[in-house]
Amino acid sequence: MPVDRPGTVPLRVTDEVAEALRTGAPVVALESNVITHGLDYPENAATARKVEAAVRAGGAVPATIGVDAGRVLVGMTDADIDRFASGAGIPKVSSRDLAVVLASGGPGATTVASSLVLAHLAGIPFLASAGMGGVHRGAQRTMDISADLIQLTRSPVALVCAGAKTILDLGLTLEYLETQCVPVISYGSDDFPAFYCVSSGLPSPHRLDDEAAVARAVHTHWALGNPGSVLVATPIDPADAVDKDEVDAATEQAMAAAERAGITGNALTRHLMRAVDRSTGGRAARANTAVLAGTAELAGRVAVAYARLRQDARDRGGSA
């Protein structure tokens, strides 16, 4: 059964995750926001288990991250997943909210930003997500920039995802990552992917085509003394993708409607995602589910390659 691990911030680590971390086996962290703020119950619970199964298919141990009763959940049991999936009003917790939610003892579902913080705290070097946040369209006026981008500069946890959400300004998002010295690697693609679109239409700074090369790049980034993340972006399977022009048109219409209605801040992302899903007849939501599994499996494979690299370094008597 899960046990508490003593420390400044209480961690409740499942036996499977604790054993993997103890032995140096590959582990991939997963955000819990997908459970609470995605599909309805019981589809959300089934999707969470499907994502965990994808990590296992890649060869690694999944560790879904959450917050509850003043503790960080590092790995969720089936009961935890069902409780989060069926519970009402569990808030989305970003990195800025963690201290307050932990201190107050309430439950919380983690985003990319908070999952990066907590994965590092637990000693997990990889996080998988469908897509990260970024610079919002119109940010020149609103200063609306996702905390995900800030946290990528601070937490030494590699993020494997399908790029940034298509509703964002992807050009400015890449500019921000360049300015903050966050390496961006597209796996098997010359272009930077765009969540449920195969390509953003923008070239990726780097392309690598095998997990071992990605693992070496991640290891070397931290060996050089860099403090933050490496972004590994993998495109959605074209069979599951949504046409970029269709998404862009729906997003522009939804942005105009949001401006007329005064929708801003955290509510804007939800408004835009739902508008795109309605416009595509639900294909965007189905693509989102496909992306979750695809990125999780790749993260598992890269985590395996990274664990092997570290073990080889230890066997040679060098630094791991």
92 counts as catalytic: no
Q: Is residue 43 a contact partner of residue 145, using CB atoms and an 8 Å limit?
A: no
Q: Is 165 a catalytic residue?
A: yes
Q: What contacts 24+ positions apart, CB below 8 Å, involve 263-271?
A: 264/142, 264/144, 265/144, 266/92, 268/136, 268/144, 269/133, 269/165, 269/167
Q: How many CA atoms lie within 13 A of 201 on its CB side?
A: 9
Given the residues 52, 165, 211, 297, the one annotated as active site? 165
Tell me the H-state helices in the chain: 15-23, 33-36, 43-57, 78-86, 98-104, 112-122, 139-142, 147-152, 170-179, 211-223, 244-261, 266-279, 283-315
Radius of gyration of the chain, Cα coordinates, nearest whole angstrom:
19
Q: Which of 31, 52, 211, 297 is catalytic?
A: 31
Q: Which residues are catalytic?
A: 31, 165
